[in-house]
Structure 1
Amino acid sequence: MTLPVVFLMGPTASGKTDLAMGLFDQRPCELISVDSALIYKGMDIGTAKPSQAELTRYPHHLVDILDPAESYSAADFVDDVLPLIDAALAKGQLPVLVGGTMLYFKALLEGLSPLPKADAAVRAQIEAEAAAQGWEALHRQLAHIDPQAAARIHVNDPQRLSRALEVYRLTGQSLTALQAQAGAPFTYPTVQVAIMPADRVLLRQRIRLRFEQMMANGFLDEVRALHQRQDLHTELPSVRCVGYRQLWAYLDGECSLDEAVEKAIIATGQLAKRQSTWLNGWKWPLLRLETGRSDNLDTLLCELDPS
Structure 2
Amino acid sequence: MSKQLPVINLMGPTASGKTALACELYERGGFELISVDSALVYRDMDIGTAKPSKEEQEKYPHHLIDIITPLEVYSAAEFVEDASRLIDDIHAKGKTPILVGGTMLYFKALLEGLSSNLPSADYKIREEIESEALKNGWEAVYDELCRVDPFAGQKFKVSDKQRIIRALEVFRITGQPITKLQAEQPKNVPYRYQFENYALIPDRVELHQRIDKRLQKMWEIGFLSEVQSLIEKYDLNENIPSMRAVGYRQALEFLNKCDNNHVNLREMEDKALFATRQLAKRQYTWLRSLKEIHKIRTYLTIKNAQEDLLNYYV
* TM-score, normalisation: structure 1: 0.77
Please give the root-mean-square deviation of Cα atoms over the aligned residues, in Å.
Answer: 3.0
- How many residues matched? 264
Structure 1 residues 26 and 238, CA, compared in 2 at 3 Å: closer, same or farther? same
Q: Secondary structure at the match of 2:37?
A: coil
Q: Does 1:41 align with 2:35?
A: no
Where does structure 1 differ by over 6 angstroms across 4 or more consecutive aligned residues? 172-175
Q: Does 1:225 align with 2:233?
A: no
Q: Distance in 1 between matches of 2:177 and 2:265?
A: 40
Map of 1:202 onto structure 2: 206
Deviation string, structure 1 residues 47-98 (Cα, Å, up to 9, x no partner): 0000100100111000000000001111111111101001111111111000
Q: Distance in 1 between matches of 2:281 and 2:116?
A: 31
Map of 1:130 onto structure 2: none
CA apart distance, 1:290 = 2.4
Map of 1:131 onto structure 2: none
Structure 1 residues 287 and 74, CA, compared in 2 at 3 Å: closer, same or farther? same
Instruction: Tell whether the 8 Å contact from 1:27 to 1:94 is kept in structure 2 after alignment.
Output: no
Q: Secondary structure at the match of 2:277?
A: helix
Q: Distance in 2 between matches of 1:219 and 1:291?
A: 28
Which runs of 5 or more residues in structure 2 are unaligned?
129-147, 150-161
CA apart distance, 1:212 = 0.4
Q: Does 1:214 align with 2:218?
A: yes
Instruction: Tell whether the 8 Å contact from 2:201 to 2:300 is kept in structure 1 after alignment.
Output: yes
Q: Does 1:189 align with 2:194?
A: yes
Q: Secondary structure at the match of 2:257?
A: coil
Q: Distance in 1 between matches of 2:177 and 2:80?
A: 17
Instruction: Tell whether the 8 Å contact from 1:191 to 1:304 is kept in structure 2 after alignment.
Output: no
Q: Which residues in structure 2 correspond to 1:151-300 (within 5 Å)? A: 152=165, 181-187=185-191, 188-197=193-202, 199-229=203-233, 231-253=235-257, 256-281=264-289, 282-283=291-292, 284-293=294-303, 295-300=304-309
Instruction: Tell whether the 8 Å contact from 1:247 to 1:260 is kept in structure 2 after alignment.
Output: yes
Q: Which residues in structure 2 correspond to 1:122-161 (within 5 Å)? A: 152=165
Q: Distance in 2 between matches of 1:251 and 1:93?
A: 45
Q: Distance in 2 between matches of 1:20 and 1:287?
A: 15
Q: Secondary structure at the match of 1:82?
A: helix
Q: Distance in 1 between matches of 2:40 and 2:269?
A: 21
Instruction: Tell whether the 8 Å contact from 2:112 to 2:187 is kept in structure 1 after alignment.
Output: yes
Q: Which residues in structure 2 correspond to 1:23-172 (within 5 Å)? A: 23-115=25-117, 152=165
Q: Distance in 2 between matches of 1:67 and 1:287?
A: 35
Q: Distance in 2 between matches of 1:228 and 1:202?
A: 37
Structure 1 residues 276 and 212, CA, compared in 2 at 3 Å: closer, same or farther? same
Q: Distance in 2 between matches of 1:7 and 1:136?
A: 35
CA apart distance, 1:174 = 8.2
Structure 1 residues 56 and 290, CA, compared in 2 at 3 Å: closer, same or farther? same
CA apart distance, 1:232 = 1.3
CA apart distance, 1:201 = 1.1
Deviation string, structure 1 residues 147-174 (Cα, Å, up to 9, x no partner): 999x947xxxxxxx9xx9xxx9xxx998
What is the one-letter code of the residue matched to 1:219?
A: F
Deviation string, structure 1 residues 205-264 (Cα, Å, up to 9, x no partner): 110110000111110000111123452111011011000001111112257111111110
Structure 1 residues 191 and 29, CA, compared in 2 at 3 Å: closer, same or farther? same
Q: Distance in 2 between matches of 1:175 and 1:189?
A: 33
Q: Secondary structure at the match of 1:238?
A: helix
Instruction: Tell whether the 8 Å contact from 2:238 to 2:253 is kept in structure 1 after alignment.
Output: no
**Segment drifting more, 231-240 vs 44-53:** 231-240
Q: Secondary structure at the match of 1:112?
A: coil
What is the one-letter code of the residue matched to 1:297?
A: Q
Identity %: 48
Structure 1 residues 230 and 55, CA, compared in 2 at 3 Å: closer, same or farther? closer
Q: Does 1:301 align with 2:279?
A: no
Q: Secondary structure at the match of 2:196?
A: strand
* TM-score, normalisation: structure 2: 0.76
Q: Distance in 1 between matches of 2:187 and 2:4?
A: 24
Q: Distance in 2 between matches of 1:174 and 1:28?
A: 47
Q: Secondary structure at the match of 1:239?
A: helix
